[in-house]
Chain A
Amino acid sequence: MKKIVLSMLVASIGLVAAEGTVPYKSGLLLPPQADKIYEKECAHCHGKDGKATSFAGSSRVSYAVIAGMDAATVAKELKEYRGGEKSNDYRLHNKYGYGSIMRSATKDLSWEEIDAVAKYVSGLK
Chain B
Amino acid sequence: MDNKYIDKMLSEMDKDLAKQGMSRRDAMKLAGITGAGMFMGGATSASAADENKTVKSNAKGKIVIVGGGLAGMSTAARLTLNLSDPDITVIEPQELSVSYQPGQTLVGGGIWDEDDIAYKRDDFVPDGVKIVKEKVILFNPQENKVTTDKGTVISYDYLILATGLHLDFERIRGLEEAGRAMSAGDNERLLKALGDDGICSIYTAKGATKTWEQMQKYIAQAKSGKKTKFLFTHPSTPVKCGGAPKKIMYLTNARLKEAGARENAELTFYPNGGAMFGIPEYHDAILGQFKREDFKWHYRHNLIEVDKKNKIAVFDAKWQEKGPWDPVLKDYEVIPKHEKVRVPYDFLHITPPQLAPREVAESDLGSAKGWVPVNKETLQHIRYENVFSLGDVAQVPMGKTGGSVRKQYKVLVDNLIALMNGKTLEAKYAGYTVCPLITDIGTVMLAEFDWTVKPTPSFPLDPTVERWMWWLMKVHALKPMTMYGMLSGRA
Q: A residues near B, CB below 8 A?
A: 18-19, 21-25, 27-30, 79, 83, 86, 90, 108, 110-112
Contacts and interface: CB of A to CB of B under 8 A. Distances in A.
B182 A111 contact: no
B189 A30 contact: no
Q: What range describes how many residues of B lie at the interface?
A: 20 to 34
Contact of B151 (A18, A83, A86, A108): A18
Contact of A24 (B149, B357, B358): B149
Given A90-B173, A111-B177, A111-B179, A28 B151 contact: no
Given A25-B137, A83-B176, A110 B149 contact: no
Interface in B173-188: 173, 176-177, 179-182
B137 A30 contact: yes
Contact of B358 (A18, A28, A83, A86): A28
B180 A23 contact: no
B144 to A, nearest CB: 16
B38 interface: no
B137 A23 contact: yes
A21 B181 CA distance: 26
Contacts, number: 51
A27 B173 CA distance: 17
A29 B167 CA distance: 11
B153 interface: yes
Nearest to A79: B176
Given A19-B151, A83-B176, A111-B176, A25 B170 contact: no
A113 B470 CA distance: 45
A30 B173 contact: no
Contacts of B181: 29
A23 B189 CA distance: 24
B456 interface: no
Contacts of A18: 151-153
A99 to B, nearest CB: 17
Contacts of B147: 23
Contact of B359 (A21, A25, A90): A25
B166 interface: yes
Interface of B: 135, 137-138, 147, 149-153, 166, 170, 173, 176-177, 179-182, 189, 357-359
Given A30-B137, A111-B179, A21 B173 contact: no
B361 to A, nearest CB: 10
Contacts of B182: 29
A22 B358 CA distance: 18
Given A22-B149, A29-B182, A90-B173, 19 more contacts: A18-B152, A19-B151, A21-B151, A22-B151, A23-B137, A23-B138, A23-B147, A23-B149, A23-B151, A25-B358, A28-B135, A28-B137, A28-B149, A28-B358, A29-B181, A108-B358, A110-B170, A111-B177, A111-B179
Contact of B149 (A30, A108, A112): A30
A14 to B, nearest CB: 9
Nearest to B177: A111
Contacts of B179: 29, 110-112
Nearest to A86: B173
Nearest to A83: B176
A83 B171 CA distance: 9
Nearest to B179: A110
A29 B176 contact: no
A118 to B, nearest CB: 14
Contacts of A108: 358
Scoring B137, B147, B173 by chain A CB atoms within 10 A of each residue's CB, the highest score goes to B137
